[in-house]
Chains A and B, each alone.
Chain A
Amino acid sequence: MYIRHTLATLTLALTLHAAPQDDQYVLGPDSQVRADVPQGKVTQMPAWKDSKIFPGTSRDWWIYVPAQYSKDKPAAVMVFCDGGGFVKADGQFRAPVVFDNLIAKGEMPVTIGIFIQPGTFPTSNPNDKARSNRSFEYDSLGDLYARFLLEEILPAVAKDYNLTSNPDERAICGNSSGGICAFTVAWEKPDAFRKVVSHIGSFTNIRGGHVYPALIRKTDKKPIKVFLQDGKNDLDNQFGNWPLANQDMAAALKFAGYDYQFVLGEGTHNGKHGAAMLPDTLRWLWQAGTK
């Protein structure tokens, strides 16, 4: 019951908070189901309860397998933080629909999508609100979440599907704290993940993430490709100022010579802009010829 509640939370939170500045961003044709396009299959996996990296947590997750997938050829991989909000066919992002349309046009590779919720600590009473481990997992710097993917989730998916081990064909996407989490995964493990999509990313001091621009400027360039979206009306609170932090990230990526793209719109702390752009974002992310 809680699990369903969480899923509703994610999608509703993003839509309910929509301000007038966000309403200009609407889904385009590549985010609509098309009868002439083969549809992949979304499967809800049994809740992941045996994490060694995040002991005691339980989380929902889903796998999207495109219709074009063949076990003879390794599929590209894209992970979505707060995956419950991305995976819904009628949700804000409709990632599986976008995947169907882009894969059919050859604008992105045959890609298995892995949509993962943050962990919660369930109790014996289903009426209790389970404590969320989301901030600990997403906002913390360090390699814990990357290791969770590499040591736990990817091997589990690889039991049933032929997944690429080419880091250039592994991407990770998230919103807000999920956005900084996506960046942290690639930053920590560039030999495993090299493509990042962050919408309204929390590169602020929730748990120290405000240091990334400084780190990017003073660290060897990593072979990662980064897409950042934010809105001028995004959050300004005790953790920091989101538009400034994202501009700071973009300036640092530019300074250090990264292959990156930054879109600063008019929106608030809302996924609408990122969702409207998702097809273009994915085309850019997956196009060949990265630096």
Chain B
Amino acid sequence: MSPRLLLATLALPLLGSAQDTSLHDYLIDGEGWKEAASGYAFTDGLCTDSTGNLFFTDVKAGKGIYKIDVTTGKTDLFLDNLPGISGLQIGPDGRFYACHNKEQRIIAITLKGEVEVLLTNMKCNDLVVSKKGHLYFTETPTQTIHLITADKKHIAADQGHILKPNGITLSSDERTLVASEHGGKHVWTWQILDDGTLTAGAPFMTMWLPVGKETASGDGATTESKGRYFITTELGIQVFDTAGRLAGIISKPDPMGKVVSCEFAGKDHDLLFVAAGDKIFSRRLKVTGYFGK
């Protein structure tokens, strides 16, 4: 470890990190939201792959999984006959994993479209898959965080604590699971044990509330490569540092619209994509995403 690195590491927990987490340091002047796709009903399920393609769904009216090509920027239907997916990610085995909300099931899908059903009768909303192959998903109405372990065991990993769990993501060391409250103001964290199960749940982060409201309507969640968390909320995309402190709120593309899911994609994974109703927008940041790399 170089002396400079050592110094930075040592200073970080107490003081050093305070100054480097400002939102203003990683937004780029003049780089606002740009429309990336339009003409859908309710976009959701954003995820990326190693090359930086963006995949998404249209939960209400879509046919399947759509792809915004990293090179051409064009949108195509990538996999047909899979309507009603609300959460999507590519797992360590290269398959899609999906909350098939319409069919109330969790499925895995090869890039050719072959489906494996992992769990049924689940009012699943959003999911995340760890590098070890543990799959976590939120079941919003039952206030439950579910786990499907790498060896396909199903466990209700946390129940009854988090108010309408919605968005879900991992810390960049995959030791912490993170889930947002749609019906409250907190973003919860749990320690992930070696077998994938959860412990030490706590309302580690507090979202900023719209004036006069008691809920932030936390929704989709993703992680930035240095471990910051990006959570879509009624006010915008709320960004938290690794200490759980709110660093700032990125404005919504349409101030009157919703943002329900976000993910970094693009060649350098520095384009923040957001699902905003009938459209997808993107915005270049000075930071990059954790997933897909």
Instruction: List the interface of chain A (C-beta within 8 A of B).
Output: 6, 8-10, 12-14, 16-17, 54-57, 82, 121, 123-124, 128-129, 131-136, 139-140, 176, 206-208, 235, 237-239, 269
Contacts and interface: CB of A to CB of B under 8 A. Distances in A.
Given A124-B194, A235-B19, A16 B206 contact: no
A237 B191 contact: no
A207 B245 CA distance: 7
B232 interface: no
Contacts, number: 91
A136 B202 contact: yes
Contacts of A9: 10-14
B211 to A, nearest CB: 15
A135 B245 contact: yes
Contacts of A131: 171, 175-176, 189, 191, 242
A144 to B, nearest CB: 10
B21 interface: yes
Interface of B: 7, 10-16, 18-19, 21-24, 171, 173, 175-176, 189, 191, 193-194, 199-202, 204, 206, 242-248
Q: Which of A8, A12, A82 lies at the interface centre, i.e. has the most chain B CB atoms within 10 A of its CB?
A: A12
Given A13-B12, A55-B199, A55-B201, 20 more contacts: A12-B7, A12-B10, A13-B16, A14-B14, A16-B10, A17-B16, A56-B200, A121-B191, A121-B200, A123-B175, A124-B193, A129-B173, A131-B175, A131-B242, A135-B243, A136-B204, A176-B14, A208-B206, A237-B22, A238-B22
A238 B14 contact: no
B11 A13 contact: yes
Contact of B202 (A10, A55, A238, A239): A55
A57 B199 CA distance: 10
Contact of B18 (A128, A129, A133, A235): A235
B210 to A, nearest CB: 16
Nearest to B8: A16
A240 to B, nearest CB: 11
Given A16-B7, A131-B171, A135-B245, A207 B15 contact: no
Nearest to A238: B22
8 contacts: A6-B13, A9-B10, A9-B14, A12-B11, A55-B202, A121-B191, A121-B200, A237-B22
B19 A132 contact: no
Nearest to A208: B206
A128 B14 contact: no
Contact of B14 (A55, A82, A121, A139): A82
